[in-house]
Amino acid sequence: MVKLIINGKQIVADEDMTIMEAAKENHISIPNLCYLEGIHKIGSCRICVVEVKGAKTLQASCMTKVSEGMEVNTNTERVRKARKVLYELLLSDHNKECLSCKRNLNCELQELGKTLGVEETRFEGTRSERTIDASVSIVRDMSKCVLCRRCVTVCNEIQGTGVLNAQNRGFDTVISPAMDLPIGTVDCAFCGQCTVVCPVGALKETDAIDTVWNALHDKSKRVAVQVAPAVRVAIGEEFGCEPGTIVTGKLAASLHALGFDDVFDTNFAADLTIMEEGTELLIRLKNALTGVGDVLPMITSCSPGWIKYIEHQYPQKLEHLSSCKSPHTMLGALIKSYYAEKIDRSSQDMFVVSVMPCTAKKFEIAREEMKNEGVPNVDAVLTTRELAAMIKEAGIDFMSLSEEDFDHPLGMSTGAADIFGLTGGVMEAALRTVYELVTGRELPFDKLHVTPIVGLDQVKTAQIKIENPLKAYDYLDGITLKVAVTSGLNGAKLLMEQIAKGESPYHFIEVMGCPGGCITGGGQPRSDDVDVRSKRLQGLYMEDEGKVLRKSHENPYITAIYEEYLEYPSSHKSHELLHTHYVM
Ligand code: HC1
Ligand code: SF4
């Protein structure tokens, strides 16, 4: 620990802290732009400069460590003038079409200008001319980029994809893929993590709002919507709630109020996924253990950012992926077949919208693998942020809505489906069902939570011994099932390297493309709460624990759809509609 003085007040701080961190801990806020708590220490914007006694120049407080006896001033005339000049220089090369910018009133640059008290922009220099680079998931508008490099940090250090970097030098510096190639043509996973940290309107999701309004206004269409698990613990933040607040009932009500004909729940299909993926795991295990041979470990396939990553980085390992489509494309396929038949409409009449925490889902729905007879399973994906924008545009007072249920028959789900939205959740949901089907007994963990795979660690593992299985599963007797869970593409890389070297000890692996799982997907509300991930995680566990039915195989609507339509898990019909194959 060291003693230092900030703004005349003596404080004690850990010697590894920066001035910015020590000040924050003592309730002194230092303005900043490029800083990312816990991650980013580049010091590119210099807005956080402070005076340190004895130093000739102003120091970037996010980069300068505290030391014994240090005297710091965060608010002198010199500091305030310097910050304003730095800010005005940023504005001199910034596209200031603020009123028509998606980030208007939700822009960290605007907010900073207010904090610094900037009322004029004195410098109008040469402006760098930048064109817009739009892909199916992500749009880059570099005329708005302030070169803070937050996106570079998450893309390289958190996701390990290395797509975005600073190219060129000085005034010509631009943040882009190598050789300024369009983002849709490089190894971008479309995870959207860069869009979450961008402080301005330079990186954002590709807009689907107009497409969805058009569908809602088209009388010839029957428009069904579905909502991903992670949306229900995050969208409330857009309306003033604490992160992790469960707003499922209001969410369903807002979708009815927007005019969707059917308001279904992706969670129903998450339960269905467990039936299909659990069965696939048992088939693969049987083949592997009885000498027929099969590919293990099996890896989950519901995260499209992860699918894109494995296709780019490990194309020779695609046979490890489960053949299951992701839950929302499974549900889209059922809406356009099973449900359309029930209400006597053709699949072409149906328009399916998915509300997702994810930007990569916009890419996923355009894939050939997610079509049946040339018809896409899902027609449009809105991010959580986009749905909130539509609710506001429609003048719906979200917080005053009474709670409503999702519609049947594709709206009921168990607690197992809720936890799909957090890291470890798909695995836990699968184990709840597979263990019970195999042994006839409930999974032996307190509250059904597989403790070793709960939490936000990058890689988590668990071992579960199968003893005295039911007769049909004799081949599993005495087997210790080994599983691993990871989230974020850097974690995926660790587990894939083991597989590539033939050293993976696991039977089943869950990979989610974003750190923490879908709760922190690239389409979720931006938050400055450092505990946002754990709060949303707790929210989903609470939603799960609050349900009477917490295992996918207990969902009565799942039993009914197999009886009425799909026959049994992994049937011919299921394969036709709910499974796919990824090939090199
Ligand atoms: Fe996800 Fe999934 S959990 S991928 O994270 O398998 O996006 O929430 O909808 O499809 O169910 C995302 C979340 C989501 C799918 C499900
Ligand atoms: Fe990098 Fe993900 Fe952004 Fe692509 S979407 S540039 S992989 S952070």
What are 514-564's pLDDT values in tens digits? 999 999 999 999 998 989 999 999 999 999 999 999 999 999 999 999 999
- Which of 225, 335, 420, 512 has most ligand 1 atoms within 8 Å of its beta carbon, as the pocket-test mutant? 420
Locate all alpha helices (DSSP H) within 395-514, ordered by sequence.
415-418, 425-439, 489-500
Which pLDDT does position 584 carry in this prediction?
78
**Residue nearest atom 1 of ligand 2, based on CA coordinates:** 155
CA 149–ligand 1 middle distance (angstroms) = 29
CB of 66 closer than 8 Å to CB of 22 = yes
| Omega of the bond leading into 409 within 30 degrees of 0 (cis) | yes
Residues 6+ apart with CB under 8 A from 145: 130, 174, 175, 200, 202
**Residue nearest atom 9 of ligand 1, based on CA coordinates:** 228
CB of residue 202 inside a 6 A radius of ligand 2: no
Quote the Cα angle for 266-271-274, to 5°: 125
CA 192–ligand 2 middle distance (angstroms) = 6
Given a cut of 90, is residue 583 above it in pLDDT? Answer: no
Residue 518 annotated in active site: yes
CB of 454 closer than 8 Å to CB of 448 = no
Record the tokens describing residue 360, joined without a space: 């990569």
Average pLDDT, the chain: 96
Which pLDDT does position 43 carry in this prediction?
80
CA 2–ligand 2 middle distance (angstroms) = 39
Given a cut of 90, is residue 136 above it in pLDDT? Answer: yes
CB of 108 closer than 8 Å to CB of 200 = yes
This complex has an ipTM of: 0.94
Q: Provide, rounded to the nearest whole percent, the portion of the chain with pLDDT above 70.
A: 99
Distance CA 427, CA 148 (A): 37
- Which of 302, 370, 580 has most ligand 1 atoms within 8 Å of its beta carbon, as the pocket-test mutant? 302
Residues 6+ apart with CB under 8 A from 328: 226, 228, 266, 269, 354, 356, 361, 378
Please give all residues whose beta carbon lies within 6 A of any atom in ligand 1, as ranges. Answer: 228-230, 266, 270, 302-303, 326-328, 356-358, 361, 420-421, 512, 517-518, 521
Which pLDDT does position 37 carry in this prediction?
81
Residue 503 annotated in active site: no
Rg of the chain over CA atoms, in angstroms? 25
Which pLDDT does position 568 carry in this prediction?
98
CB of residue 541 inside a 6 A radius of ligand 2: no
**Residue nearest atom 6 of ligand 1, based on CA coordinates:** 302
Which pLDDT does position 44 carry in this prediction?
84
Which pLDDT does position 172 carry in this prediction?
87
Closest ligand 1 atom to 270 CA: 11
Distance CA 506, CA 495 (A): 10
Residue in 51, 108, 276, 280 annotated catalytic: 280
Residue 322 annotated in active site: yes
Question: Minimum mean pLDDT among 75-89, 126-140, 517-531: which range?
Answer: 126-140
Closest ligand 1 atom to 230 CA: 8
CB of residue 190 inside a 6 A radius of ligand 2: yes
CA 132–ligand 1 middle distance (angstroms) = 29
pLDDT tens digits for range 449-461: 999 999 999 999 9
Closest ligand (CA of 139): 2
Residue whose C-alpha is closest to residue 206's, from 56, 356, 19: 356
pLDDT tens digits for range 357-368: 999 999 999 999
Distance CA 19, CA 214 (A): 51
Closest ligand 1 atom to 358 CA: 7
| Omega of the bond leading into 199 within 30 degrees of 0 (cis) | no
Q: How confident is the model at residue 131 (pLDDT cuts 50, 70, 90)?
A: confident
Distance CA 372, CA 204 (A): 30
Which pLDDT does position 429 carry in this prediction?
98
Main-chain phi, psi angles of 306, to 5 degrees: -65, -40
Strand bridging mode 350-356 / 298-299: unpaired
Residue in 302, 324, 358, 514 annotated catalytic: 302
Residue 369 annotated in active site: yes
- Which of 193, 251, 321, 328 has most ligand 1 atoms within 8 Å of its beta carbon, as the pocket-test mutant? 328
Which pLDDT does position 582 carry in this prediction?
93
Question: Minimum mean pLDDT among 81-95, 226-240, 425-439: which range?
Answer: 81-95
CB of residue 188 inside a 6 A radius of ligand 2: yes
Residue 191 annotated in active site: no
pLDDT tens digits for range 246-272: 999 999 999 999 999 999 999 999 999
* Residue-level length of the chain: 584
Q: What pTM value is reported for the model? A: 0.96
CA 305–ligand 1 middle distance (angstroms) = 11
Distance CA 429, CA 301 (A): 15
pLDDT tens digits for range 343-353: 999 999 999 99
**Residue nearest atom 4 of ligand 2, based on CA coordinates:** 188
Question: Minimum mean pLDDT among 2-11, 81-90, 126-135, 372-381: which range?
Answer: 126-135
Q: How confident is the model at residue 140 (pLDDT cuts 50, 70, 90)?
A: very high
Q: How confident is the model at residue 40 (pLDDT cuts 50, 70, 90)?
A: low
Q: Domains of the chain (ranges plus CATH)? A: 2-90 (3.10.20.740), 130-206 (3.30.70.20), 209-268+328-400 (3.40.50.1780), 276-324+413-530+537-578 (3.40.950.10)
Residue in 204, 250, 325, 361 annotated catalytic: 361
Residues 6+ apart with CB under 8 A from 446: none
pLDDT tens digits for range 423-451: 999 999 999 999 999 999 999 999 999 99
Residue 364 annotated in active site: yes
Given a cut of 80, is residue 39 above it in pLDDT? Answer: no
Beta strands (DSSP E) in 132-230 are 132-134, 138-141, 165-167, 174-176, 203-205, 222-227
For 58, the 3-state DSSP assignment is coil
Q: CA–CA distance from 75 to each of 26, 49, 58, 78, 439 (Å)?
A: 15, 10, 12, 8, 66
Residue with the larger pLDDT of the pair 230 and 122: 230
CA 494–ligand 2 middle distance (angstroms) = 19
CB of residue 194 inside a 6 A radius of ligand 2: yes
Residue in 369, 404, 436, 545 annotated catalytic: 369
pLDDT tens digits for range 12-35: 999 999 999 999 999 999 999 999
Residue-wise burial string across 292-302, b where 16 or more C-beta atoms lie within 10 A, e elsewhere: eeeebbbbbbb
Record the tokens describing residue 58, joined without a space: 């102003």
Residue in 237, 238, 277, 510 annotated catalytic: 277
Which pLDDT does position 523 carry in this prediction?
98
Distance CA 578, CA 581 (A): 11
